[in-house]
Amino acid sequence: MAYVRTNWLSNETAVSAANMNNIEDGIVEAKADAAGATNTANSALALAQQISDQFLDRVYPVGAVYISTVSTSPSTLFGGTWEQIQGRFLVASGSNGESGDSELSLTAGATGGESKHTLTVNEMPAHRHTAREKNNSGAETAYSYVTENAKSAWGSTRISSTGGGQAHNILPPYLAVYMWKRTA
């Protein structure tokens, strides 16, 4: 665009049309450079996001568990979608032969267990109770076991029950931590 001005004031410096054209060309170039810089910055941000996503997928793929004693959510640290796990122990999946007569088999992702348990009769260890009985002369005789309604010439034998039948804590020694499982 050509600029032509002929009525310059005494305190103004005349600018030629060529100078105005150079200024306008400089502005156009500066805008183009700024747009290029924006495109470069956007490309750099996209690349950084891609690297971050690849890091997350390699280090913490969907299904991975993050553990920390700090309460900061891994979504804040790494991105992704995470579900907090609360009140659970982690145990390795698979099977072993150490659970008595039956083999324990655990599938990854399965849940179970209990924090307190009341023993049933079948879970109690095999044991005996000693009974004492007084004969007619007042002497005590000990038996290593008795059968139900055991009787002798001196009278019946009685064994009293004991225990409160309350649930007991079955947690092993532990360190409480924050845990999250990546879901997406």
Domain that holds residue 28: 1-59
Q: Is the pLDDT of residue 131 over 50?
A: yes
- 26 in a structural domain: yes
Phi-psi region of 162 (alpha: psi -120 to 50; beta: other; left: phi over 0): beta
- 83 in a structural domain: no
Domain boundary among 43, 59, 75: 59
Q: What is the domain count for the chain?
A: 2
- 142 in a structural domain: yes
pLDDT at position 144: 43
pLDDT grade for 51, boundaries at 50, 70 and 90:
confident
Phi-psi region of 167 (alpha: psi -120 to 50; beta: other; left: phi over 0): beta
In this prediction, residues 124-143 reach a mean pLDDT of: 69
58-86: pLDDT as tens digits: 999 999 999 999 999 999 999 899 999 99
- 155 in a structural domain: yes
- 91 in a structural domain: no
